[in-house]
Amino acid sequence: MSHPTQPAAIVTGGAGHIGQAIAAGLAADGFAVAVADLDLVRAQAVADRLAADGRRAIAVAVDVCSYASAQCLAATVLEAFGAIDVLVNNAGGSARLVGGGYGPFHEAEERVIAAMIDINLKGPLFVTRAVAPYMVARRQGRIVQVGSICGVQGTENVADYSAAKGGVIAFTKALAKELGAHGILVNCVSPGLVPRPGEELERARQSNYLGRACTAEDVAELVRFLAGEKSGFITGHNHVIDGGRSLAMKTA
């Protein structure tokens, strides 16, 4: 096992749009970062970019839907960095990841429902279960889940995704109660619509009260705060970052 020389963080889904921004932000804050993703090639590219900027980073292949894979991730990071100080459960996605579409739940395919629960809810449960014992043993750590406002409000035509993200928020609250006595803070960040590069922005701009789209960097900044020392008395909360979208329906 490597002797820890700096704090270490895991970012699941680290090769994705939001995950890359979170990984870069934590690296800039002095964390050694494990970019964990199902796509090892893309994860390695992210880790290489961080290393080129003088940051310490590794790429780790993980299938968050597999508990054995989650255990392997924890062991690999512990061996590489000597500690796990922050876990960001960012891996997740909508039905389009598995070739499904949006639509009424009563028309949803069984495989799509199962996939949405697996990656968006079972994934954070498995990775947290694999990592938390190391944090408990050291009596310190931060766990940040990435939820969604769909889990707060429920969104039509993505009922399975909404259910999974709502579960993540409840998991956050329960886990914060369990782990607080061990010096571990647990929080959730729930973004609104975050367009990917090349996606049309108008719907995102019109969906909130600030008149612009939420960016991956917006989300990353909140995660960085919750992972940092200045958030030391904040735990068990779902922090919505949506430009006011969830406040109420916009009127003309």
Q: Is the pTM of this model over 0.85?
A: yes
At residue 159, the pLDDT reads 95
Residues 154-170 have pLDDT tens digits of 989 999 999 999 999 99
Residue 251 pLDDT > 60: no
Higher per-residue confidence, 151 vs 102: 151
User: What domains appear along the chain, each with residue ranges and CATH number?
Assistant: 8-241 (3.40.50.720)
| Candidate from 23-27, 35-39, 107-111 with smallest mean pLDDT | 107-111
* DSSP track, the chain: -PPPSS-EEEEETTTSHHHHHHHHHHHHTT-EEEEEES-HHHHHHHHHHHHHTT--EEEEE--TT-HHHHHHHHHHHHHHHS---EEEE-----GGGGT-----GGG--HHHHHHHHIIIIIHHHHHHHHHHHHHHHHT-EEEEEE--THHHH--TT-HHHHHHHHHHHHHHHHHHHHHGGGTEEEEEEEE---PPTTS--HHHHHTSSSSS---HHHHHHHHHHHHSGGGTT--S-EEEESTTTTTS----
Just list the catalytic residues. 161
Residue 125 pLDDT > 90: yes
